[in-house]
Amino acid sequence: MEKETFMKLNKKRIFPHFMERFKNSYLSYFLMYNFYYLSWALFSSFISVYLLDKGFRPSDVSLVVSASFLASMIFQPIIGILSDRFSLKLINTILFALAGLGGIYFVNATRLIELIIGYSFVLTLINGTNPIMERIATTSPYPYGRIRIWGTIGYALGSQLAGLIYDFVSPSAIFVTFVFTMAISIIGLLGTSPHTKVIEKDENEHQDHSFFKAILTNKKYIYYLLISAIFFGVTNMGHTFTPAYFQSEGLNISTVSIILSLAVVCEAPIVLFSYKFMDKIANKKLMILAFCMVITLYSIYAFNLWLPLQVIATFIVKHPAGMLFIMINLKVVNTLVDAKYQITALAFVQTCRNLSSVIFQNIGGQILNVTTYQNMFLCALGVITIGLIMTLLFKIPAGNDKGLFN
């Protein structure tokens, strides 16, 4: 009896103590970031292979993926405005939970329209929270790199886990696993308390009107939206079809998943050491570097160079370039947009990213219906080169005084 009483009292003491230590702890940010990006990789990494194996055409794959970007484009600004006005934790918890429910629907979908609805629902919620997740990494009590690195590791693990589940369990089991990993991410999210002093509320009742007026008169921000739309639209198209491309080159799914996982891991040094260069190198130079990296990769794909060279280039460029531009995006918006509008401004960047992704996904699918992957990457190479030229002509402040990544 005394032992039972002691154990009950001990539990009453230990649990509140643990919750107090868990609140805003490094563990809470680890769980949130690691399993959020792991879930994202699980759900999206092999969507092209999954649908093609079900007998759908490349144009059907493009339709499913582009529909998700279109839905994200519509709802992204709404999520951004809600996140500016209400608790980030509350909004993200609701969105994470709904994404998990969407995963349950998707795993039971068989018809194309059902797949479109399910995939669009989940990706809209995940894409919608992504700019907020990046902002949380810059406003947490810990350095950006120490938080964001777990997103990189989580995405790498998710890509690898997706391939293993696909090969050794079943394709649909990927989406069941997604539901559980999203639940773990929610646990981490509930423990965080990021300070959001850069996301100030505007006391003016006409905040939305002021924001639209601000961006419509901010020519540099509008110009940047066009540049980011080109970069993200073309690279997202490449991300969608890269697994199927490598499969068409004779690699099996397990090998492809290893390649994609290692490619994600290769972005880790950029994230971890972001504090050493992101606040020191000018915005324009960083953007030029990101575009040149993608041009190099797509040139190697387009001219179908030695397969091991394509794999090595994928490691060095695919995710590192994308991660670099994500960090550039944070820095550029912080440079060009007033602090009280930055969350919504990031949401508008995401909206343009989704719109361009819709366009390029469909173009890529139509190209693959009539010709080869090499020709698709050749077209992508031409567009990304236009983006580089626009960047070279861009007159933007260096933004080296922001200290976002320290």
Q: pLDDT tens digits, residue range 234-280?
A: 898 888 788 888 888 888 877 887 887 788 788 888 888 887 888 88
> Who has greater pLDDT, 36 or 84?
36
pLDDT at position 288 is: 94
pLDDT at position 11 is: 53
> Who has greater pLDDT, 201 or 150?
150
10 lies in a domain? no
296 lies in a domain? yes
Q: What is the spatial distance between Cα 42 and Cα 157, in angstroms, rounded to a whole number?
A: 9
Residue 197's pLDDT band (cuts 50, 70, 90): very low
The mean pLDDT value of the chain amounts to 81
What is the percent of the chain with per-residue pLDDT over 70, rounded to a whole number? 86
Q: Among candidates 360, 358, 362, which has minimal Cα distance to 124?
A: 358
Residues 6 or more apart whose Cβ sits within 8 Å of residue 299: 381
pLDDT at position 208 is: 54
This prediction has a pTM of 0.72
397 lies in a domain? no
Q: Domains in the chain: how many in total?
A: 1
> Who has greater pLDDT, 5 or 185?
185
Q: Which helix (H) or strand (E) holds 82?
A: helix 58-85
Q: What is the CATH number of the domain that holds 362?
A: 1.20.1250.20
299 lies in a domain? yes
Q: Which of 16-20, 51-55, 220-224 has the lowest mean pLDDT?
A: 16-20
Residue 319's identity, in one-letter code, is H
156 lies in a domain? yes
Highest mean pLDDT among 9-13, 66-70, 311-315, 364-368: 311-315
What is the percent of the chain with per-residue pLDDT over 90, rounded to a whole number? 17
By residue range, what is the domain housing residue 68?
A: 27-194+206-392
**Average of pLDDT values for 180-201?**
74
3 lies in a domain? no
Q: Is the pLDDT of residue 6 over 70?
A: no
Residue 7's pLDDT band (cuts 50, 70, 90): low
Q: Which of 36-45, 287-296, 330-339 has the lowest mean pLDDT?
A: 330-339
> Who has greater pLDDT, 197 or 128?
128
pLDDT at position 358 is: 77
pLDDT digits (tens, 9 = 90+) for 378-398: 999 999 999 999 999 988 887
321 lies in a domain? yes
Q: Is the pLDDT of residue 292 over 70?
A: yes
Q: Is the pLDDT of residue 14 over 80?
A: no
305 lies in a domain? yes
